[in-house]
Amino acid sequence: MALDRILLSRFRNHRDTAIEGTAQFNLLVGENGAGKTNVLEAISLFAPGRGLRRAALADMAQRTGMQGKDGGFALSAELAGDVRLGTGIVPDRPGRRIVQVNGAEASATSLAEWLAIGWLTPAMDRLFMEGAGARRRFLDRLVLALEPSHARNAARLEAALRERGRLLSADAEPDPAWLDAIEAQIAESGAAVADSRGDLARRLDAALAALPASPFARPSLTYVPGGPTGANALAQALREGRRRDRAAQRTLTGPHRDDLAVTLAAKNQPAAECSTGEQKAMLIAITLAHAALGEVERPRLLLLDEVAAHLDPLRREALFERLAEGRAQVWMTGTERAPFAPIVERAAVWRVNDGRAERQ
């Protein structure tokens, strides 16, 4: 089992919540605003990044005092095998995230070495309608679940891109030698990021194509690079584009401009032009195919926020069957138990109300 025990302290509307006695299926039931999604968000912070809401750290902490001053929050999780993970912030440094593994301070990127976490939320229903940035983040989370080193490569790429942008936007002409060094780092880490993204997109597309008939619409995936994918070619493109990028005040080529093209296979129709129901079905199909992809030694978690609410009974049953066949520990939310009837007897269920979780 992935997570045995989870503690939330002063996180969102959870002042002091303990969740233990988990199962493969874990169901959080309660009214809207009760704090169900807050539990999923807390779990998502045991992965690198900003969690499933991409919120500022200070916004996750409960307010304290007459002035509404930001307080700290603390999250901890126990994994089978006596591994303890912790993360949170302290009141005097609300923008700095603290991470601990078995009591020792660690980096946020190191969390990827312990858990493989993915999620689906209602906000992601517009994934195919939004800009490429949302799809890159989605693809990166899928890569990260299978390849922990992706977090370090992506972090190095982002840091180097920021530094190049700072140099190009300065009033003085940047030092070419320093730009060479920064661009070499972008090229090295960027090539690794692009290679991982492209490889996963191809593997996922092949897995989706091989699936038997399903109530979920089958998507076709294509990785669309935002520039040369090889290290040497990317370094050359960056060097040749300095004048253009300096005028634009940003780097115009590279993996930070990648995209994931998704097409409804049966109609050969871009996902952005499909119905809302078809888009939702394709997103679920991608998530399920990914959850069954490859052998992962780390525990897998799948966080599904309100996923059953807009599915008909046939699709709900198919979803639960696929999840039961997988190896991931599944966390789901809903306003009532009825949609989860096929799996509720096998699930650990908590009633969530006003930031408190009571085992049912």
Instruction: Spell 140-155 as b/e; 16+ CB within 10 A means b.
Output: bbbbbbbbbebbbbbb
Q: Please, are residues 104 and 228 in contact by the beta-carbon 8 Å criterion?
A: no
What's the CA gap between 230 and 333, in Å, rounded? Answer: 42
Q: Provide the H-helix boundaries in the chain.
A: 36-44, 57-60, 132-146, 149-169, 176-209, 231-240, 242-248, 276-291, 313-325
Selected from 3.20.20.70, 3.40.640.10, 3.10.310.30, 3.40.50.300, the CATH number assigned to the domain covering 1-115+298-360 reads: 3.40.50.300
Q: Please, are residues 70 and 96 in contact by the beta-carbon 8 Å criterion?
A: no
Backbone angles phi, psi at 204, to 5 degrees: -65, -40
Q: Do β-strands 259-264 and 269-270 pair in parallel, antiparallel, or remain unpaired?
A: antiparallel
Q: What is the pLDDT of residue 66?
A: 45
- The ranges of the chain with pLDDT < 50 are 66, 68
What tens digit of pLDDT does each residue of 296-339 get? Answer: 788 999 999 999 887 888 889 999 998 998 889 999 999 999 99
Backbone angles phi, psi at 87, to 5 degrees: -155, 160
The residues spanned by each domain of the chain are 1-115+298-360
Say how far residue 293 (Cα) sits from the centre of its chain: 16
Q: Please, are residues 251 and 152 in contact by the beta-carbon 8 Å criterion?
A: no
Q: What is the pLDDT of residue 1?
A: 60
What tens digit of pLDDT does each residue of 300-309 get? Answer: 999 999 998 8
Backbone angles phi, psi at 276, to 5 degrees: -60, -40
Q: What is the pLDDT of residue 341?
A: 94
C-alpha to C-alpha distances, 286 to 41, 170, 217, nearest whole angstrom: 21, 43, 10
DSSP assignment, residue 62?
A: P
Q: Give the tokens for residue 281.
A: 């079905």
Q: Give the tokens for residue 192.
A: 């690794």
Is pTM beyond 0.85? Reply is yes
Q: Please, are residues 283 and 305 in contact by the beta-carbon 8 Å criterion?
A: no
* Sheet-wide strand order for 347-353: 116-120, 300-304, 329-334, 25-29, 347-353, 356-359
Q: Give the tokens for residue 164.
A: 């190049």
DSSP assignment, residue 175?
A: P
User: Residue with structure tokens 């493989």?
Assistant: 116
β-strand partners of 93? 90
Q: What is the pLDDT of residue 156?
A: 97
Q: What is the pLDDT of residue 211?
A: 81
Which of 235, 151, 163 has its CA nearest to residue 196? Answer: 151
